[in-house]
Structure 1
Amino acid sequence: MSDKLPNLIDPLLFAERRSILTGVLKISELERLSGMVVNTGGDIAVDARFAKQGKRAVVSGKIQTVLELECQSCLQALAWPITLAFKLAVVSSLQEADSLEIDCEPLLLNGEKVSLHDLIEDEILLAIPDYPRHEYDCIPRHQSRDSDFDDNSQTETNNPFSVLAKLKKTGE
């Protein structure tokens, strides 16, 4: 157990040893995520556990953080809490990935080591919504640019049937 999370890990070796990695990552250390948030000063709490499930190495754990995203309606900062659990099975080919159990996602191992930072960043990026917005209506629907604007007077003058309404009243 350690407080500092290594960047490169060998998931097969860690699974053999049944290692547990807990620690904190800075959002500023994750390049792709840093470009999507308003404030890069936050932390990401990580708890990763390595184990064997049959003959297959498995990485599971939890990720917790609060991201400051930009609301796509009002363009103001929006606190977005993320708490997610992940379970990844180490595979060496796409054929192995297709034969995985339903409760596991594939982690394709091309070489000996995998970037733990990239793995965590990928999981967080998948959890961020495409268009983050406040839960409440952050832009009032009846917001007008001119305070002298009157909806009723404009409706009457632009109504193409207003002439017919006058004819109906006069009886002509």
Structure 2
Amino acid sequence: MNRQKSVKDYIRTIVDFPHEGILFRDVTTLFADARGFRICVDQLLSPYAGIPIDKVVGLEARGFILGGAVAHQLTTGFVPIRKKGKLPGAVISQAYALEYGEAVMEIHDDAIRAGERVLIVDDLLATGGTASAAIELCRRLGAEVVGAAFVIDLPELGGRRAIEALGVEVHALCEFEGA
């Protein structure tokens, strides 16, 4: 008997990218398959169906693809959070730790109004640094973060614990062991 493919079945692993010893989880194969992409978007938004959400916030860059599709299905607005220097106009910034150093994410200072309910969407949850910065940016604008949805969780890296420690529920479609 043939079982139906899961989201995880559409994701390929590339060994030693971008550095030796890394197993890169490539979601472009998921995006390229119409059925896989549809399953992914449906499953990302499923826990939030019927919950009032004012904006979907997508994290650069694959979170733009996923977040835009989820926002469309939820009939709500979409807000990008980008790397420093990529957004025109007035922004607020949030630094976060990387394995070696620091990075900065930005959001337009008028992208979210106080009291709006937002859902954060990205492809991968690793250490939680990027998602934590996004939560902080949204909260600084007065938003209520109703959840954070990801295609992949790498549980060994502790991102879920970091996000949940901020009081935000995590929804991930699949897990991969290792970094």
Q: Normalization by structure 1: what TM-score?
A: 0.26
Larger helix percent: 2
Structure 2 length-normalised TM? 0.25
